[in-house]
Amino acid sequence: MLGRPSAASAVAPVLRGFGDAAHAAYRADGGDLSWCALRAATVAGVRHRLAGETSEDAFAWESAGDRVAVAVCDGLGSVPGSAAAAGRAAAAAVSAAIVDPGAAVGAARTGVRAANEAAAGGGATTVVVAVIDRDGRAGLARVGDSTAFAVGAGASRARELFAAPAEEGLVGTGTAALPSDRPDAETAEMTLAPGSVLLLVSDGVADPWRDGPGTVAPAFEELLAAPPGPLELARLADFSRQGCHDDRTLLGVWVAHRGAPARNDTGAPGHPGAFG
């Protein structure tokens, strides 16, 4: 629990009439390259789980040589077909971005354009794409309220890389989304130092992160100081907090962390299956 308790989070969902691995409410994955570690997890929001529904978020990555492209998409629940649109958009984004030989931020823009084309055909989705090079340079592009944080080595405070929503005294109620006739993306660039992580998240993570500076934020910053095991990342994403029941997705890329003892799901360094 991170903040006020949530009664909804404690309710056990009724078994869905059908389930398979592709639609699991909890999904996690990851692995290491010689120069970075990648971990991703997505969990269906409490309300989706209690309704027997699956997550409408999606993540994807693709690596080639000294570059990795990553994406997180958040399908809009108010538009039918958005879960599929998010999946298509994420996959298309990384596939297009990774073959763009230009600078990272330009490749990230390419990813957004590809995501926009892939999102057509039903549904609506946000997208945030990042392209990270071996030297730590990263370029990002997004449409909508999925966003990115950077956390330095040593559990330092996180920094959001895009502008947070302006509230004007009230919570915002809408987001830009794909497909769009004018998919102009916001962009950001940064250089990741060794041991730091670039984290792409859906708003189901970003909102409570911003709203929980004494609870959610420190918990994430501590756990993300080093690459956790995928299941540990999923467990973190599944935190309980009053009124926070949107789908939650995190995808992190830690630069130059290979060789450091990785966390794993038992807490014991070097456990079989751990990354690092």
Partner 1 sequence: MSGSRIAGRVGEVSSGGTNGNPTTAANQGAGQDQGTVQDQGTAQDQGAGGNLGVEERYAVFPFYLCLDVSASMYGAAIDGVNRQLPLLRAAIGEDPAIAEVIRFGVVTFSDVARTVVPLCDLSLVEALPELAAQGRTSYAAAFDHLRRTIEDDYQRSRTAGERWYRPAVVFISDGRPTDDTERWRSAHRTLTDPGWKRRPNILSFGFGDADPAVLAEVSGSKPNRAFLAAEGAEPASVVPELMTGLIQSIVSSSASVYSGQAQLVLPDVPSMRAIPVDQLD
- Closest contact distance (angstroms) between CB of 15 and partner 1 is 18
Give the rounded distance of the alpha carbon of 155 from its chain centre.
Answer: 18
Q: Is 185 in the site for partner 1 (CB under 8 A)?
A: yes
Q: Is 136 in the site for partner 1 (CB under 8 A)?
A: yes
Per CB under 8 A, contacts with partner 1 among 77-96 are 77-78
Residue 37 near residue 257, CB atoms below 8 Å: yes
Which candidate, 181, 201, 211, 194, places its Cα nearest to that of 249?
A: 201
Whichever of 135 and 222 has its CB closer to partner 1, that residue is 135
Q: Is 130 in the site for partner 1 (CB under 8 A)?
A: no
Q: Is 151 in the site for partner 1 (CB under 8 A)?
A: yes
3-state secondary structure of 261: coil
Q: Is 21 in the site for partner 1 (CB under 8 A)?
A: no
Query: Encoding tokens for residue 100?
Result: 């763009």
Q: Is 63 in the site for partner 1 (CB under 8 A)?
A: no
Question: CA torsion 18→9→55→217, rounded to 10°?
Answer: -160
- Closest contact distance (angstroms) between CB of 252 and partner 1 is 14
Q: Out of 63, 152, 218, 231, name the contact with partner 1 by CB under 8 A.
A: 152
Whichever of 40 and 127 has its CB closer to partner 1, that residue is 127
Contacts of 207 (CB under 8 A, 6+ apart): 244, 246
Residue 144 near residue 175, CB atoms below 8 Å: yes
Residue 175 near residue 124, CB atoms below 8 Å: no
- Closest contact distance (angstroms) between CB of 186 and partner 1 is 5
Query: Encoding tokens for residue 151?
Result: 């956390």
Query: Segment contacting partner 1 (CB under 8 A): 18-26, 185-193, 226-234, 261-269?
Result: 185-193
Whichever of 120 and 266 has its CB closer to partner 1, that residue is 120
Residue 20: HSE in the Cβ half-sphere, 13 Å Cα cutoff: 1
Q: Is 219 in the site for partner 1 (CB under 8 A)?
A: no
- Closest contact distance (angstroms) between CB of 191 and partner 1 is 3
Q: Is 100 in the site for partner 1 (CB under 8 A)?
A: no
